[in-house]
Amino acid sequence: MISEKMEKALNEQINEELYSAYLYLAMSAWFESQNLPGFAAWMKVQMREENVHALKLFDFIHERRGRAVLKAIKEPGKDWKSPLAAFEAALEHEQHITGCINKLMNLAVAEKDHATAGLLQWFVKEQVEEEASADRIVQMLKMAANAPGALLMLDHAMGERK
Ligand code: FEO
């Protein structure tokens, strides 16, 4: 069984992950509007990953005889000033998610809930990757600043993500 407090906290994280999916889908739409289909495709793959994160939490809650409760997902915004601004926002968002995961881990440790801590360990590692990949793209976009050719090449490379 999972504690009521842990169940509520994991449910809040489901909402965070679904919001992440929504945010990246909104960014995908924005990249489409900018004629950057590679970035748009990358964001769509990211959206699917976020749905997987949400489902991991959803399934875990039920395995522990809890209940997933879905709340409204806030609006993600629709315009960014530049590809760099979009990825800076994505990086900032991932840093926020890392903070959420760390708080959940603190609660699991305080409650001596080893099963939840085990699940969260996966998320801790995932967040290292999530921040690193957003940061790498931010750095590449900074290098490509004022060079449309470099941006187009980067767009092509981004579209390779499966
Ligand atoms: Fe599920 Fe990108 O954090």
Q: For the segment 5-61, what is each residue's pLDDT rounded down to a tens digit?
A: 999 999 999 999 999 999 999 999 999 999 999 999 999 999 999 999 999 999 999
17 lines ligand 1 (CB under 6 A): yes
Helices 4-33/37-63 angle, 10° precision: 170
Q: Which atom of ligand 1 is nearest to the CA of 130?
A: 2
**Contacts of 36 by beta carbon, 8 Å cutoff, 6+ apart:** 83, 151, 155
Nearest-CA neighbor of 22 among 81, 68, 78, 71? 78
* Ligand 1 and 97: CB distance under 6 A: yes
CB 7 within 8 Å of CB 67:
yes
3-class secondary structure, 43: helix
Ligand 1 atom closest to Cα of residue 46: 2
Q: CA-CA distance, 48 to 145, in Å (whole number)?
A: 29
Q: What is the pLDDT of residues 50-103, one digit of tens each?
A: 999 999 999 999 999 999 999 999 999 999 999 999 999 999 999 999 999 999
Domains plus CATH for the chain?
4-156 (1.20.1260.10)
Quick check: CB of 155 below 6 Å from ligand 1? Answer: no
The CB density around residue 103, as the number of other CB atoms within 10 Å, is: 13
For residue 130 and ligand 1, the question of a CB distance below 6 A is answered with: yes
